A and B are shown apart, each in its own frame.
Chain A
Amino acid sequence: MATITTRHTARSLKQRLYAWLTCHVNAASDSVQQLWVTPFATALTIAAIAIALALPTALHVFTINLKELGGHWEGAAAISLFLLPHIDEQQADKLANELRQRTDVAHVEIISRQAGLAEFRSYSGLGAALDQLTENPLPVVLALYPTSYISDLTELEQLSASVAQLPGIDFVRLDTEWIQRLQAVIKLLQQGLWLLSAALAIGVLLVIGNTIRLEVENRRNEIEVMDLVGATASFIRRPFLYSGAWYGLFGGSGAWVLVNFMAWQLQTPVDRIARLYHSHFQLLGLDWIATCILMIGAIALGIAGSWLVVAQRLNQLQPSR
């Protein structure tokens, strides 16, 4: 057994390493040249991969921006403290001053009974009905704005729970519904992102697989000849795997350019909106971790797609029974 299946060339480790490296460099450069043989078809394939990869990537960028936006409530989340009915405005003022001493409170606004009623009248449209009332039923309300370092929903809830313990306070309303809704939406988007990514990853796998299948078909003769002169399966596979990797790399780069271009296009309108809301919000682009994941994922998909196709072809070359 040993004699007919051992390598006949006794070689040093250095020579073997050199041969291995040469083999890889050749496969990599041959396969990139192969892409240039049909530039139009190659460009179409790369564009298809780029768009398929750009979709989940863009959704990812959208989600991280939305998340960022959720963290930027900047005082939008006020805690409303409804005081007990018997508390009058002087007492309310005293309470407000006490609250202002707290480090986690930025500022406190007193909404007097009259101001509350006026506001209610203008928003509710119950003007005539309110005129029937003999006395103002509304309590004094303190609007409490937390300091900006409180950026987390649980911290906000802790603050509201602690101020609810203070004497003279009837109940506390924390206006967090919109934050909770936003967080639910982000969660939904993140789950959607996974599903979309999975579906489009399969799409990329198929696009690359199909392209490599055509290449395998075109080089059928070469594969057969390589097989009969004693090329190993990995040797035959190698240039195709490199082709797949190149498609992945170029497609991934295309997606990166596309997403960053979109973000760049949106930067100006987003800035305008942020200014209108007096926010320091800045549109986030693709961070380097996401870029790495995109690139490695794209290359891995390319290699996997061509592996599947070439493996199938190599199976057909095995001796028949």
Chain B
Amino acid sequence: MIQFDRVTKRYPERGEALREVSFTLANGDMAFLTGHSGAGKSTLLRLIGLFERPTRGQVLINGVNINTLPINKIPLYRRYVGMVFQDHRLLPERSVFDNVALPLIAAGLTRREIEKRVRAALDQVGLLQLECAAPITLSCGEQQRVGIARAVVARPPIILADEPTGNLDPELSREIFALFERFHGVGVTLLIATHNLDIIHTLPYRTLRLQQGVLADD
């Protein structure tokens, strides 16, 4: 469960990015986060990912105020939350397999377990045959699917996606959303920041709309 309780985030250089934002996303829910550029979508996701801490208010994950987590607990928390980015954030010098394996290597799994899980994740995103390829040789859509495989490989209960279809054409975008729906189907909680209103209007999920840092529509 993701719960925002009157969260305000202020940056010293550009003022308030979020103002008094409150909402609750139940476990297993899937929701979209929309709004113009600079409306605070990325900030909201970064607060959940614990890359930032709120200026005021509380972010509760499964009832725990994550801002009270000590620094040495943050890595364990990050394994609980899978993240997908618009620019994929893959490591270009490593193969697709190695990129997807990173969260499992970080978690200290055995080689056999890593191989099993990475192949399962690549299979889910339909890239099993490309495990040895270098990320730059892949298309944009394929790279994004590698990014998604990396986010889900450790089977986190929460997945956050920041403009995952920002660089993709409508057809590829639809494929990516279909992928997210499959994870939703197995009980993962998803929060997806997106501009892609055309597609999300055709999908039956909740939409949170941010406007200049304020939650305008739910």
Chain A residues within CB distance 8 Å of chain B: 1, 3-9, 15-16, 18-20, 22-23, 221-222, 224-233, 235, 318-321
Contacts and interface: CB of A to CB of B under 8 A. Distances in A.
Given A4-B77, A22-B111, A229 B69 contact: no
Nearest to B93: A222
B82 to A, nearest CB: 9
A240 to B, nearest CB: 15
Nearest to A26: B105
A225 B89 contact: yes
Contacts of B109: 9, 19
Interface of A is mostly: helix
B64 A1 contact: yes
Interface string B55-79: 1000001101010010111111111
B63 to A, nearest CB: 9
A22 B110 CA distance: 8
Contact of B108 (A16, A224, A225): A16
Contacts of B73: 5
B19 to A, nearest CB: 17
Given A22-B111, A320-B52, A8 B150 contact: no
B83 interface: yes
A111 B103 CA distance: 90
Interface centre among A4, A15, A225, A318 (most CB of B within 10 A): A4
B64 A229 contact: no
Nearest to B71: A318
Contacts of B154: 8, 229-230
Contacts of B103: 229-230
A4 B61 contact: yes
Given A230-B78, A233-B75, A319-B51, A4 B102 contact: no
Interface of B: 49-53, 55, 61-62, 64, 66, 69, 71-80, 83, 89-91, 102-103, 105-111, 113, 150, 154-155
Contacts of A231: 75, 102, 106
A7 B107 contact: yes
A226 B102 contact: yes
Contacts of B51: 228, 319-320
Contacts of B64: 1, 3-4
A229 B78 contact: yes
A319 B53 contact: yes
B116 to A, nearest CB: 12
B111 A229 contact: no
B80 A4 contact: yes
Given A230-B76, A320-B52, A18 B110 contact: yes
A231 B111 CA distance: 17
Contacts of A18: 110
B75 A232 contact: yes
Nearest to B54: A321
Given A221-B91, A225-B102, A226-B102, A233 B108 contact: no
Given A20-B108, A23-B105, 9 more contacts: A5-B69, A227-B75, A228-B51, A229-B79, A230-B77, A230-B78, A233-B72, A320-B52, A320-B53
Contacts of A8: 79, 154-155
A319 B74 contact: yes
A5 B106 contact: no
A235 B76 CA distance: 12
Contacts of B102: 225-226, 229, 231
A228 B110 contact: no
A222 B108 CA distance: 17
A235 B79 CA distance: 14
Contacts of A23: 105, 108
Interface centre among A233, A319, A321 (most CB of B within 10 A): A319
A9 B104 CA distance: 10
Contact of A19 (B49, B77, B110, B150): B110
A222 B79 contact: no
Contacts of B110: 15, 18-19, 22
Contact of A232 (B49, B66, B69, B106): B106
